[in-house]
Amino acid sequence: MPDGNSLYGPLDPAPDAGWTSAGPRMGFFTDTSVCIGCKACEVACKEWNAVPESGFDLLGMSYDNTGALTANSWRHVAFVEQPVPAGHRSAPFAGTPPDGPSGVGPQFLGMPGAQPPGRGTGAAERTDFRWLMMSDVCKHCTHAACLDVCPTGSLFRTEFGTVVVQEDICNGCGYCISACPYGVIDQRKGDGRAWKCTLCYDRLGAGMTPACAQACPTESIQYGPLDELRDRAAQRVTALHDRGVPEARLYGHDPTDGVGGDGAFFLLLDEPEVYGLPPDPVVTTRDLPRMWRRAGLAALVMTAAAVAAFVGGSS
């Protein structure tokens, strides 16, 4: 399979793709418990990467004006309004980074001092619902199906372990769009080519932090070596559990899952489906080797049968 996407055990994708002097795999850890929905990441992404504007449409979904990841929205801040989980214990209000003194973000609107968006401090405090906010992005999968199906080599694995689309090589076939288990990749209208997050490949090469992580005011989006981020995320989940937030969990961090783990993973406060994420993503090209073997065997059998028929008929 292209990019050496072996489905047998953990994989370090950059060396497997041929990078002989690759450093540690880099990625994102997005801690949704401290996301305040400010959309600074969306703006920074668009500005740095010259991503076209998406238009203004509230979509009937509160403050979510982008709706999903698209060719023109490489970061999407989701706003999910829901009742406070039964038995959830209030914790101190926070608007501080995850290493700060409080540790749970202001989306828990039942907390002291927290107000629904658009309500002043003099308004009656709401205790019956909360906002779940998450800045979604391409997952930069370990086993990336988009790489497997691209016929032009437009998609490639970088030395940082990330996956990038070279738009000048893309022919607009759309194979990568249907191959992505997360529905991340999209074609731009009037263009036809595929576009998605590059994890600011140009910035990484210059030793800089991706624009979205640089702009995030609460450090909800954290960038760094993936192994370090996984350790930090595990500690964060433990801390939240100790503070009475038992629903905190990690998503996309496990290198033994259906895509070999993600280069961009998340701390969630509810089931993945609540955020529009598949609960058990699987690399969509996992059956290709077996299919090709069967096709090859079938071709051999048909060839042998044809030869036998020809020989038998000529005798």
In tens, the pLDDT along 178-215 reads: 999 999 999 998 899 999 999 999 999 999 999 999 99
217 and 300 within one domain:
no
292 and 278 within one domain:
no
Q: What is the pLDDT of residue 234?
A: 97
156 and 256 within one domain:
yes
Read off the pLDDT band of 105 (50, 70, 90): low
Structure tokens at 231: 């350790």
Enumerate the H helices of the chain as residue ranges.
Answer: 13-16, 40-49, 145-149, 175-179, 201-205, 211-215, 226-242, 288-314
Lowest mean pLDDT among 23-32, 90-99, 142-151: 90-99
Contact indicator for 80, 136 with CB cutoff of 8 Å: no
CATH of the domain at 261: 3.30.70.20
Q: Tell me, yes or no, whether 10 lies in a domain.
A: no
173 annotated to bind ligand: yes
Q: Tell me, yes or no, whether 206 lies in a domain.
A: yes
289 annotated to bind ligand: no
Contact indicator for 163, 138 with CB cutoff of 8 Å: yes
124 and 260 within one domain:
yes
210 and 85 within one domain:
yes
- CA pair distance 60, 250, nearest whole angstrom: 29
292 and 160 within one domain:
no
45 annotated to bind ligand: yes
Q: Tell me, yes or no, whether 58 lies in a domain.
A: yes
Query: Mean pLDDT, to the nearest integer, of 156-166?
Result: 97
100 and 172 within one domain:
yes
Give the contacts of 52 (CB within 8 A, at least 6 positions apart): 46, 72, 188
116 annotated to bind ligand: no
209 annotated to bind ligand: no
175 annotated to bind ligand: no
210 and 87 within one domain:
yes
Lowest mean pLDDT among 18-32, 44-58, 109-123, 137-151: 109-123
- Render pLDDT for 243-286 as a digit per residue (tens, 0 to 9): 999 999 999 999 999 899 999 999 999 999 999 999 999 988 75
**Number of domains within the chain:** 2
150 annotated to bind ligand: yes
24 annotated to bind ligand: no
304 and 257 within one domain:
no
Cα 237 to Cα 60, 226, 261, 269, 283, distances in angstroms: 32, 16, 18, 10, 26
The closest of 5, 40, 72 to 219, measured between CA atoms, is 40
Return the beta strands (E) in the chain as ranges: 26-31, 76-83, 129-136, 155-157, 163-165, 186-187, 194-195, 221-225, 249-251, 264-268
Percent of the chain residues topping a pLDDT of 70: 73
213 and 145 within one domain:
yes
92 and 69 within one domain:
yes
| Residue 26 identity (one-letter amino acid) | M
Q: Tell me, yes or no, whether 139 lies in a domain.
A: yes
Structure tokens at 43: 């703006």
Q: Tell me, yes or no, whether 13 lies in a domain.
A: no
Q: What is the pLDDT of residue 107?
A: 53
Q: Tell me, yes or no, whether 4 lies in a domain.
A: no
Read off the pLDDT band of 12 (50, 70, 90): confident
Q: Tell me, yes or no, whether 20 lies in a domain.
A: no
241 annotated to bind ligand: no
313 and 268 within one domain:
no
What is the SS3 assignment for 134-145? EEECCCCECCCH
Q: Which domain holds residue 161?
A: 25-284
Q: Tell me, yes or no, whether 1 lies in a domain.
A: no
